[in-house]
Amino acid sequence: MKIAISAESTIDLTPELVEKYDIKIVQFTINLGEEAFFDKDISPQDIFEYVEKNKLLPKTSAVNQFQFEQHFENILKEYDAIIHFSLSSEMSSACENAKTASAKFKNVFVIDTRSLSTGIALLVLSACDMKKDGMMAKEIVEKIKRRIDFVQASFVLDRLDYLYKGGRCNALMYFGANLLKLHPQIIVKDGKMISGHKYRGSLEKVTLNYVKDTLAEFNNPDKKRAFITFTTATETLIFQIEKILKEKGFQEIYKTTAGATISSHCGENTLGILYINDGGGV
């Protein structure tokens, strides 16, 4: 059986990794005023410049049912089955749209990852490993579903105004963080973004403390791979974090820039480390 691995552009993988693992990507849409762009055609810097100039957030549009139907139909011309990984259903309508579209086809499996960004990518690359080992589609789906709850996906933010304007944090949290000059940690739990630790200090110090705290709290990682994913970050900071992850024994460490959709909700100077914890459920 020839299996295709599919995901939405919110996976935030580099083009090189998408090509290497032959991942079929379907694009979210970003609306800047009257102009619409696919996720891949606009950079985080474009987002930040638009927000600075207009004092408004872009609007992001999930992949709709028709787009999914076209996406699946095109893939099935060359493949016997599709395993599609979708952004958490708690954050977007994309997952429900994908499931509705998949009902029109045989052998299209949609996984609600309950995650975002490279938290999704961790599951996708696990599926690619299983596919390479010769597993059948249904077996891969079953194993991946057991890994979902073990994905450690979190970020530390420089600012909360993007989340606040996007309706993803309340006014009390927003104004409190601003007043106390706090840098909040955002954790993905049960498919939703929740508040974690709150840090104070320089951005570099805060980010390094976040990395160390996360590794201490989620301290039984699957060391096969980890991601450092960011909207903007200095090379020096990324190097320091990569060094920490190497010292922890991670074998593959990927550095990826968040795409336009994720950047639209998080803002500048957001950085996260993401990996699978507690043995990954398999």
Kindly list the domain boundaries of the chain, sorted by start residue. Answer: 3-29+62-148, 150-281
**11, 124 Cβ separation under 8 angstroms:** yes
Question: From 3.40.50.2000, 1.10.443.10, 3.40.50.2300, 3.40.50.10170, which CATH number describes the 3-29+62-148 domain?
Answer: 3.40.50.10170
Whether the domain at 3-29+62-148 and the domain at 150-281 fall into the same CATH topology? no
C-alpha–C-alpha distance, residues 217 and 272, integer Å: 15
**215, 248 Cβ separation under 8 angstroms:** yes
C-alpha–C-alpha distance, residues 82 and 2, integer Å: 9
Pairing of strands 225-230, 23-26: unpaired
**75, 109 Cβ separation under 8 angstroms:** no
- Rounded to two decimals, the pTM is 0.92
Digit-coded pLDDT (tens) for 35-52: 999 998 998 899 889 888
**How confident is the prediction along the chain (282 residues), in pLDDT tens digits per residue?**
899 999 999 999 999 999 999 999 999 999 988 899 999 899 889 988 988 898 888 888 999 999 999 999 999 999 999 999 999 999 999 999 999 999 999 999 999 999 999 999 999 999 999 999 999 999 999 999 999 999 999 999 886 665 545 554 443 344 344 444 578 888 999 999 888 888 988 889 999 999 999 999 999 999 999 999 999 999 999 999 999 999 999 999 999 999 888 888 778 899 999 999 986 555
- If DSSP codes are grouped into helix, strand and coil, which group holds residue 183? strand
Distances (CA, A) of 165 to 56, 229, 246, 269: 8, 22, 37, 17
Say which CATH class 150-281 falls into: alpha beta
Strand order in the sheet with 81-86: 23-26, 3-8, 81-86, 108-112
**274, 224 Cβ separation under 8 angstroms:** no
Q: Which helix (H) or strand (E) holds 180?
A: none
